[in-house]
Structure 1
Amino acid sequence: MTRFVVVAGAWLAAWAWDEVVPELREAGHEVHALTLSGLAERQDVPAGQQTHVQDIVDEVERLDLRDVVLVGHSYAGVPVGQAAELIGDRLARVVFVDSNVPVDGKSFLDSFPSDHIRKSLAENGGVWPPLDPADYAGQDLTDEQIARIVTDGTPHPGATLTEPAVLARPLADLPATYVKCLLDGDELPAPADELVGSGRWELVRMETGHWPMFSRPRELARVLDESATRS
């Protein structure tokens, strides 16, 4: 049995994993879906990026989890990658699901052209509102799934996007799998591209969009299950 802590990306919370968690539990795993500070039922909690790192570390330590696979989707790859090195020998593996990865001294927004997001933060009181429904087109999502993401999503706290990551060791030291969702493009973010290319990290490709926990939950659960065997 593997113990998973799964963390969804911007605007999302524990509810985003509702269809993945039962599949993993049926496969015999222990699964904990985590809502980060500032989102959903925790939206009144002030949050920066290091708050999110600590949220993940606290969850692992509170539950006294060992042999943990941390899963970070999209934005959440940044705090998950930092938390992974902080939990020490409790870690079995990290799975980055179509995500950004942390780079020491750089923020989430430093990793790609993000002027439009910075403008949105300035115009919306320091939070990043969920995207418009049209922005989810072409990502293998039904209208119902898009409606749920938009309706249940929470404006994302801007400080988590602009604070720099803090890493004590190279990412290459982490046992990791990178899941690339091909409808969102086939390029991996740096330095994940180099780590995959060098064989340090495993690469799994999925023929779906950026939100596979909605579009392909069973397939994603199977990918996570298989990643556990490599831990």
Structure 2
Amino acid sequence: MTAFILVPGMFTGTHVWQDTAARLTAAGAEVHTVALTGLDGPRAATGATVDLETHIADVLAAVDSVGAAEDRRIVLVGHDYGIHPAVGAADRRAERIERIVYLDSGLPRDGVPALAAVPDQSLRERLAAAVGTGEAERAEQTLPPPALHEWPRWGSTEGVPDPALDRLTALAAPQPLGTLLQPLRLTGAVGRVPTTGVLCTGNGSSIELIQMLVRLGDPALRPLTDPRVSFFELPTGHWPMLSCPAALTDVLLRAAAGEGHRLEPVDDAAGPAHLRPFLMDVPDVARERHGRVDLYLPDAEEPRPAVVFVHGGPVPAEARPTPRDWPGLTGYARCVAGDGAVGVLLDHRLHDLGDYERAAADVAAAVELARADPRVDGERIALWFFSGGGLIAADWLDAPPAWLRCLAATYPVLAPLPNWGLTETRLRPARAVAKAGDLPVVLTRVGREMPELAATVEEFLAAAKDCGADVEVIDVPHGHHGFETIDVTDESRTAVRHALRTVLDHAFGAGGR
């Protein structure tokens, strides 16, 4: 028999599992729901410090309550914050756990507190600033539960019926801050336990997105390609136990049986996809490096327009080579210089989802550096954004300077995904386009884009249509995200040439080249 141990997330108790637990029981499974101290039952203060270790002990008690018969397999399910005490407990009872299921949750790491996985960026910053002051670590300090309209700050509520959301709000309890601030301590034993990730696409996660991140070569994600790791998707928001308990039950049973999608390992012989050759031959032009900014220079005596290329992300700080040396981006910059303009590439510091403001400042500084160079015509600048860098375009759409001749975006993210915790950010191109005026926008759209990213493009295009913005769409029907080094086809080359020609025509203006 399979014994499921279900661990709830922030602000919640065993009540969220009611329907799922009943369905699992009806399917013949044994089910235990964990009441986390301070979150389940009476809201009165417990009189003792409640931290992550307290909740790990709660999960351990549930594990130890399950009989040790050889035919009893424990599947430990952690939702949201609940994955942290679940993994902590599994590390201490690794021999008892058959599988850990990460239900729309992050990847806990040794020495890192659960605060790092909180989606609300502004809250993370406030609590991080409080660490060390003593105030945030007092036993009576808690985080108030969300009001009804505040739940989207913690994850998409897509699919949750109104009565269920009302009940979630009514039963929500304050989260003890110690549970978020205390670092998780792991021995490494949990690394031997098979795992399954259940990704909720309505909250911004998908198997394809995880696969893309793996292809970027981040060593921290390589373990996800282990054959013992599987994945499922659910087309819903962050609360599948409330929005689709039947589908969640089916996925949990299949996960317990060892089913699920396996990620493709990185082909070390071919190299990560983003480091493969650019799809076109590029001219050999002069390059100068100025701090984090590279200038690709045309063979010209008079000042020329410049195109500033803004890479996507987040890109891990330790990633090598850095984006300004990626073949796809250098290919664009060399093509621009070969056609008579200055190509500008930079390494901005978007290493984490909380770094967008810093990255936006890096982009603005790179633009000013380029405009100040005597070989650049500072009144003729184009900006070209890629992938996750697309959010930074909002600043330039919201108040386009007179010298900005064109804004381009290729397979961009044009609105924050629900699980990014950026509900309060100004960096929302899909809103900012209403103020773009007559600024030309050149958007390259790939037909095989990840659905969650494609939705942000469609949101942007709908807003652009409503306000009459000047947007030209260049389609690559069979192209993937990062197609310039993945889909080396005539269709891809035609799209890149079209985009380059259009952007440069706008940059050079009526006077031509």
TM-score by length of 2: 0.42
Residues 97-112 of structure 1 correspond to what in structure 2 (within 5 A)?
97-111=103-117
Match status 1:135 vs 2:150: yes
Match status 1:41 vs 2:47: no
The C-alpha deviation readout for 1:15-74, integer Å capped at 9, x for no partner, is: 110100111011100001111111121644341001111111112113435421100000
Distance 1:170 1:193, change over 3 A: farther
Paired with 1:133 and 1:197, the residues of 2 have a C-alpha distance of: 38
Of residues 50, 54, 57, the one that matches 2:57 is: 54
Amino acid at match of 1:173: R
Conserved? CA contact 2:159–2:237, under 8 Å: yes
Amino acid at match of 1:29: A
Conserved? CA contact 1:100–1:108, under 8 Å: no
Paired with 1:202 and 1:144, the residues of 2 have a C-alpha distance of: 33
Q: Which residue of 1 aligns with 2:163?
A: 144
Q: Which residue of 2 aligns with 1:228?
A: 256
Choose 163-172 or 68-77, whichever is displaced more. Answer: 163-172
Distance 1:227 1:144, change over 3 A: same
1:101 CA displacement: 2.7
Amino acid at match of 1:204: F
Tell me the secondary structure at the aligned position of residue 60 of structure 1: helix
Conserved? CA contact 2:5–2:76, under 8 Å: yes
Conserved? CA contact 1:67–1:91, under 8 Å: yes
Conserved? CA contact 2:98–2:193, under 8 Å: no
TM-score by length of 1: 0.89
Distance 1:29 1:133, change over 3 A: same
Q: Which residue of 1 aligns with 2:241?
A: 213
1:92 CA displacement: 0.7
Match status 1:195 vs 2:202: no
Choose 19-28 or 169-178, whichever is displaced more. Answer: 169-178
Match status 1:116 vs 2:135: no
Greater RCO (CA < 8 Å, at least 6 residues apart)? 1
1:199 CA displacement: 4.4
Conserved? CA contact 1:196–1:203, under 8 Å: no
Q: Which residue of 2 aligns with 1:173?
A: 192
Of residues 155, 160, 163, the one that matches 2:174 is: 155
Percent identity (aligned): 30
Match status 1:88 vs 2:94: yes
Of residues 81, 84, 88, the one that matches 1:78 is: 84
Distance 1:229 1:34, change over 3 A: same
The C-alpha deviation readout for 1:144-194, integer Å capped at 9, x for no partner, is: 111111111111111000100011117542200000101111256999854
Paired with 1:192 and 1:161, the residues of 2 have a C-alpha distance of: 22
Tell me the secondary structure at the aligned position of residue 87 of structure 2: helix
Q: Which residue of 1 aligns with 2:25?
A: 25
The C-alpha deviation readout for 1:87-111, integer Å capped at 9, x for no partner, is: 1321111101001232101101124
Match status 1:164 vs 2:171: no
Paired with 2:147 and 2:23, the residues of 1 have a C-alpha distance of: 30
Paired with 2:13 and 2:248, the residues of 1 have a C-alpha distance of: 17
Whichever of the two has the greater Rg, that structure is 2
Q: Which residue of 2 aligns with 1:8?
A: 8
Paired with 1:127 and 1:117, the residues of 2 have a C-alpha distance of: 14
Distance 1:116 1:221, change over 3 A: same
- C-alpha root-mean-square deviation of aligned residues, in Å? 2.7
Choose 1-10 or 169-178, whichever is displaced more. Answer: 169-178
Paired with 2:123 and 2:30, the residues of 1 have a C-alpha distance of: 39
Gaps of 5+ in 2: 260-513
Gaps of 5+ in 1: none
- Residues matched between the structures, number: 231
Tell me the secondary structure at the aligned position of residue 112 of structure 2: coil
Amino acid at match of 2:143: W
Conserved? CA contact 2:196–2:231, under 8 Å: yes
The C-alpha deviation readout for 1:72-92, integer Å capped at 9, x for no partner, is: 000001110111121132111
Paired with 2:24 and 2:77, the residues of 1 have a C-alpha distance of: 13
